[in-house]
Amino acid sequence: MIKIAPSLLSADVSCLGDEIQRLEKAGADMLHFDVMDGHFVPNLTFGPHILKGLKKRTNLPFDVHLMVNNPETVVPWFIEAGADIITFHLEACPEPLRLIELIHQHGKKAGLSTRPDTDVKLLEAYGKSVDLILVMGVEPGFGGQAFRADTPHRIFATKQIAGDFLIAVDGGVNFETAPDCIQAGADILVAGTAVFKNNAYADNIRKLKGE
């Protein structure tokens, strides 16, 4: 069953608490919480105090996507704030297995991601350790980018890695690209504009799932 994780970057930040309640009622399966530090990617977004506040407004799990340098420094903050899944970038972490172990020790699920041009084969060493691999459909950092044509191929290549993990795809996911992602092996679709379009959250989520 395909799961939809709306990206809160596309929500109305003036009323995030209300937005996530609407998303829960509309059938969202989890919430994608992008964290950017202005260094690993050229943008700044949410911090742990915002996550901690939002946790009070929903029962949906939060998938925290860390697009930051030195993720080992900030992971404990998001563990304490209530993250359910913490995904960090392979390129930003010198000791991924140690950080995955730390996340697991606190009862959280660990995810790993890479930039689109990073060789998928580099993830093979971690397939049996992580719970999720996040395939980027765009260069991380900004919403609204065009979906990269090689994304389904990279999803399929990730599917061949040994391990019991889910595959999520993030960036450029919409009604046109979602079927190709699903066919290639994606389990979770992270979508921003496609979910929030025309204020029709429930209809958009169903359409992304192919229902």
- CATH number of the domain encompassing residue 203: 3.20.20.70
Strand segments (E) across 37-184: 62-67, 85-89, 109-113, 132-136, 166-170
pTM above 0.75, yes or no: yes
Return the active site residues: 34, 170
pLDDT of amino acid 64: 98
For the chain (length 211 residues), average pLDDT per consecutive 10? 96 96 98 95 93 96 97 97 98 97 98 97 97 96 82 98 97 96 98 95 97 85
Report pLDDT for 132.
Answer: 98
CA atoms of 62 and 149, how far apart (whole Å): 28
Q: What is the predicted pLDDT for the residue at 12?
A: 95
In the block, which residue shows the tokens 């304490």?
Answer: 80
Number of folded domains that form the chain: 1
Token code pair at residue 41: 């990617």
pLDDT at 149: 97
Nearest to 133 by CA among 88, 71, 172, 67: 88
The domain in which residue 38 lies consists of 3-209
